[in-house]
Amino acid sequence: MKGSKTPPPLPGRCVEIPHVKTVIRSRDGSREFEVETHAVPDLDVDGYGSPVIMVPDNEPDLVEENMSWTMYLKRGDCGYKIGTISGLEDPAELESESNGFRDLEAVTPAAVPSGRGRGNVVSTKYKFDGKRYRAGKGERR
């Protein structure tokens, strides 16, 4: 990943990163909470310390099971869209990498709770394909 002091160019064009603040609710409507655009502390997907900015969906009636974030990598004043991640929590960086970017993992609540000893969350790994992060198969835990 890191070979020189200057990071390689990113795919796509430089855009202004939108600031979004929205309300998410639980499936049963018992909880509501606000999420907004934010930088993810200590997430270094490119090895150059470029901040990863997460922007929540900007749609009415969002429920936690369907929540997703658009990820931008910020370099200088530019934001580069690098993919979409599902889930409420920030993604975790994995040790592996794809096309010069760290692989990520995100956890989402399972749409249907399991009563058969399987977990109620789904873990999904994301790999960078050279242009965007793409989701792999989700694994219930």
Let me know how long the chain is: 141
What is the model's pTM? Answer: 0.86
4 burial (CB, 10 Å; 0-12 / 13-18 / 19+) is exposed
Question: With 80 as the cut, is the pLDDT of residue 141 above it?
Answer: no
- Give residue 126's pLDDT band: very low, low, confident or very high (50, 70, 90): very high
pLDDT of the residue at 2 = 53
Lowest mean pLDDT among 31-40, 58-67, 123-132: 58-67
Mean pLDDT across 116-131 = 83
Long-range contacts of 84-88 (CB under 8 A, 24+ apart): 84/132, 84/133, 85/54, 85/126, 85/133, 85/135, 86/124, 86/135, 87/124, 88/24, 88/35, 88/64
pLDDT of the residue at 30 = 80
Question: With 60 as the cut, is the pLDDT of residue 62 above it?
Answer: yes
The tokens describing 101, both together, are: 């970017």
- Give residue 4's pLDDT band: very low, low, confident or very high (50, 70, 90): low
Dihedral angle at the C-alpha atoms of 76, 80, 85, 87, nearest 10 degrees? Answer: 40
Question: With 70 as the cut, is the pLDDT of residue 76 above it?
Answer: yes
Q: What does the buried/exposed string (b/e) look like for 11-28 if buried means 16 or more CB atoms within 10 Å of the residue's CB?
A: eeeeeebeebebebeeee
Mean of the per-residue pLDDT values of the chain: 87
